[in-house]
């Protein structure tokens, strides 16, 4: 009888313990901001997408990602921090300039389709103050025609 009472007591303790402590709640992985670039023509291979909050000679990208051009697009390129962690644009907040670097070492900047001269950009030092900055909370889909080759400056 005493053995049954001990087991009964242990069962009650276990039930109450699990009710209050429970199992560890599963957490969703942190959101990853992804960027897609459509309509890439005359380019193949790997390309990197870089995000800058400011662009000067000493600036480092806030985030970046690399993908392979397939069917004329870079599709859902996940952004990462310099340390390799997933970059969450919604948590980071802010606005960013977008650059693409292709495997042939050509560099493009997002201009919204406006020429550099139309934005008043006459040298690379103008990029920091005159390139459009975009909020990229959840990422975005951009058309390559809205990017201009930095060699045109």
Element (H, E) at 144: none
Q: Looking at residue 5, what is its pLDDT?
A: 52
If phi > 0 it is left, if psi is from -120 to 50 it is alpha, else beta; for residue 97 that is: beta
* Structure-block tokens of residue 134: 């975009």
| pLDDT at 115 (0 to 100) | 97
pLDDT at 58 over 90: no
Please check whether residue 4 lies inside any domain of the structure.
no
Q: pTM of the prediction?
A: 0.80
In a domain, 113, yes or no: yes
- Residue 137 CB coordination number (10 Å): 15
Q: Is 8 contained in some domain?
A: no
Predicted pLDDT of residue 78:
96
User: How many Å apart are CA 36 and CA 60, to the nearest integer?
Assistant: 22
**Mean pLDDT of the residues in the chain:** 87
Tens of pLDDT, residues 35-56: 999 999 999 999 999 999 998 7
Segment 5-33, tens digit of pLDDT: 555 555 555 555 555 565 566 777 667 89
Q: In angstroms, rounded to a whole number, what is the distance separating the alpha carbons of residues 31 and 129? A: 30
Q: Please, are residues 136 and 90 in contact by the beta-carbon 8 Å criterion?
A: no
Whether 39 is in a domain gets the answer: yes
Residue 5 lies inside a defined structural domain of this protein: no
The parent domain of residue 48 ranges over 34-152
Assigned domain for 19 exists:
no
Whether residue 59 lies inside any domain: the answer is yes
In this prediction, residue 65 carries a pLDDT of 97
Could you tell me which residue, 27 or 59, shows the higher pLDDT? Answer: 59
> Is residue 3, in this structure, part of any structural domain at all?
no
Give Dmax (Cα) for the chain.
93
Number of domains within the chain: 1
């Amino acid at each position: 009888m005493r053995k049954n009472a001990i087991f009964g007591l242990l069962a009650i303790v276990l039930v109450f313990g699990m009710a209050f402590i429970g199992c560890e709640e599963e957490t969703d992985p942190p959101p990853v901001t992804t960027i897609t670039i459509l309509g890439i023509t005359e380019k193949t291979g790997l390309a990197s997408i870089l995000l800058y909050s400011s662009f000067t000679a000493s600036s480092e990208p806030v985030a970046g990602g690399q993908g392979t051009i397939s069917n004329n697009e870079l599709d859902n390129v996940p952004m990462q921090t310099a340390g390799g962690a997933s970059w969450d644009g919604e948590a980071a907040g802010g606005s960013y300039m977008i650059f693409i670097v292709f495997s042939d070492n050509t560099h493009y900047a997002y201009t919204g389709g406006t020429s550099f001269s139309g934005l008043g950009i006459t040298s690379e030092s103008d990029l920091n103050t005159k390139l459009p900055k975009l909020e990229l909370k959840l990422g975005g889909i951009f058309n390559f025609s809205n990017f201009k080759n930095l060699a045109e400056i």
